[in-house]
Amino acid sequence: MKFLDQAKVYVRSGDGGAGAVSFLREKFVEFGGPNGGNGGRGGDVVIECVDGLNTLIDYRYQQHFKAKTGTHGMGKLRTGADGTDVVLRVPVGTQIFEDDNETLIADMTEVGQRVVLLSGGNGGFGNAHFKTSSNQAPRRANPGQVGTEKWVWLRLKLIADAGLVGLPNAGKSTFLAAVSAAKPKIADYPFTTLHPNLGVVSIGERDFVLADIPGLIEGASEGAGIGDRFLGHVERCGVLIHLIDGTQDDVKLAYKTIRTELAAYDERLAEKPEIVVLNKTDAIAPDDLKEKVKALKKLSKQDVLQVSGVTGQGVDQVLYGVIETLDAEKAARLEATRRKTEPNWAP
């Protein structure tokens, strides 16, 4: 299945059905009076978050969605049926934006979540509705209310606990394949990964979801390489695993490049907790390895973990570090919530 994380679609709610103009005509009933029924309500446009989807590929082949018009009212006080809703089913993590692609309408984060994007038009009143003591034979009825329409953007941001970032060929796909059952494409040329991959990682008695996005290069925020369009998939991550290829000459430049692109995309992304990992240590001479770890530690101002995605050396240490960071983040959120709801609480 091809991965698609962004789509533009046209949606239109249904028109309301028209009210009817009708009079009772029965034998021996001299003054039957009006009996025109009301029109039915037009169908709504609904966004529903469902399980089992991980791409927006369905919206590549169909971009127009229109709800049904309500049925018109009829004689004998028969009200028209409501129009059928049109339901757009999207995967967890989908955001709906206005046509400007900036104004957020809804964020679909849970399976079963439903949002009425556009409401259908109300049905018109039949002439029976307008009967009064002074006008007992009205000959008018309302037309149905016209539905509304708009273009919207659907943008998918994968739900993951941790995200892998780094330059092309940093070993992100190899790392993901080593720690999960995911089978990303792995090759010895840049930009092997063309779309994000997800894997479920099990370590000890804990599980978490790990996302691997295509590599970034200098100028990605300006469209260089694949650009930074996939960085949205790690916006929801609690921690970033920054993989650096230890076989390259200037590891400091590699680290700075990624940090610059993260900050250019979103300052909040650059402020996320980060685990710095020097990868491919099995292919580095001991003296060079020591110098590169020292340089990265000084630059990042934190410990630098050493791993080899091929041999598995040091991988568990990274995974336990992810669990520890996620737990710390969760505890901090709970503490912040508690302080808001109970400002005088103290342990």
pLDDT of residue 221: 60
3-28 tens-digit pLDDT: 788 899 999 999 999 999 999 988 88
State the average pLDDT for the chain: 86
pLDDT tens for residues 209-266?
888 887 776 666 666 656 566 777 788 888 898 988 888 888 888 888 888 888 888 8
At 78, list the tokens.
């028969």
Average of per-residue pLDDT across 114-124: 95
- Do 140 and 174 lie in one domain? The reply is no
* pTM greater than 0.85: no
Which residue has 């020097």 as its token pair?
278
Confidence band, pLDDT 50/70/90 cuts, at residue 194: low
58-85: pLDDT as tens digits: 898 899 999 999 999 999 999 999 999 9
Shared domain for 147 and 178, answered yes or no, is no
Q: Give the integer Cα–Cα distance in Å for 97 and 108.
A: 12
Q: If we measure between CA atoms, which residue out of 267, 167, 287 comes closest to residue 215?
A: 167
CATH number at residue 176: 3.40.50.300
Q: In a 3-state reduction of DSSP, which class is residue 156? A: strand
Instruction: Give Cβ neighbours of residue 183 (< 8 Å, ≥ 6 apart).
Output: 177
What domain count does the chain have?
2
Q: What is the CATH number of the domain that holds 16?
A: 2.70.210.12
Residue 285 inside a domain? The answer is: yes
Same domain, 146 and 166: no
Can you tell me the mean pLDDT for 103-119? Answer: 93
Given a contact cutoff of 8 angstroms between Cβ atoms, the answer to whether 206 and 159 are in contact is no
Residues 119 and 217 in one domain: no
pLDDT of amino acid 251: 86
Q: Is 52 inside any structural domain?
A: yes
State residue 220's pLDDT score.
Answer: 62
Residues 194 and 322 in one domain: yes
| pLDDT on residue 335 | 78
152 with 172, same domain: the answer is: no
The reply to whether 347 falls in a domain is no
DSSP state of 196: -
Query: Hey, which of 47-51, 168-172, 263-267 has the most confident mean pLDDT?
Result: 47-51
Contacts of 200 (CB under 8 A, 6+ apart): 180, 181, 207, 208, 209, 210
Q: In angstroms, rounded to a whole number, what is the distance separating the alpha carbons of residues 138 and 192?
A: 73
| Residue 106 pLDDT grade (very low, low, confident, very high; cuts 50, 70, 90) | very high
Task: Kindly state whether residue 174 falls inside one of the protein's structural domains.
Answer: yes
- Residue 104 has a pLDDT of 92
pLDDT at 325: 87
SS3 per-residue string spanning 235-251? CCCCEEEEEEECCCCCH
Domain boundary among 156, 171, 189: 156
Query: In one letter, which amino acid is 268?
Result: R
Based on the domain organization, do 181 and 144 belong to the same domain? no
Write out the residue range of the structural domain in which residue 28 sits: 1-156
Based on the fold, state whether residues 118 and 191 are members of the same structural domain. no
Identify whether residues 28 and 133 lie together within a single domain.
Answer: yes
Of residues 88 and 236, more confidence is placed in 88
Q: Which of 156, 184, 202 is the last residue of a domain?
A: 156
Assess if residue 19 is contained within a domain. Answer: yes
For the residues 257-284, what does the mean pLDDT come to?
85
Q: Are residues 241 and 326 in the same domain?
A: yes
For residue 316, give the DSSP letter. Answer: H
State the pLDDT at residue 69. 96
Q: How confident is the model at residue 1, as a pLDDT?
A: 46
Final residue before a domain boundary, out of 110, 137, 156: 156
What does the alpha-carbon distance between residue 154 and residue 56 come to, in Å, rounded to a whole number?
A: 8
Q: Which segments of the chain are extended strands (E)?
A: 6-12, 45-49, 64-66, 86-90, 94-97, 104-108, 114-118, 149-156, 162-165, 197-203, 206-212, 239-245, 274-279, 304-306
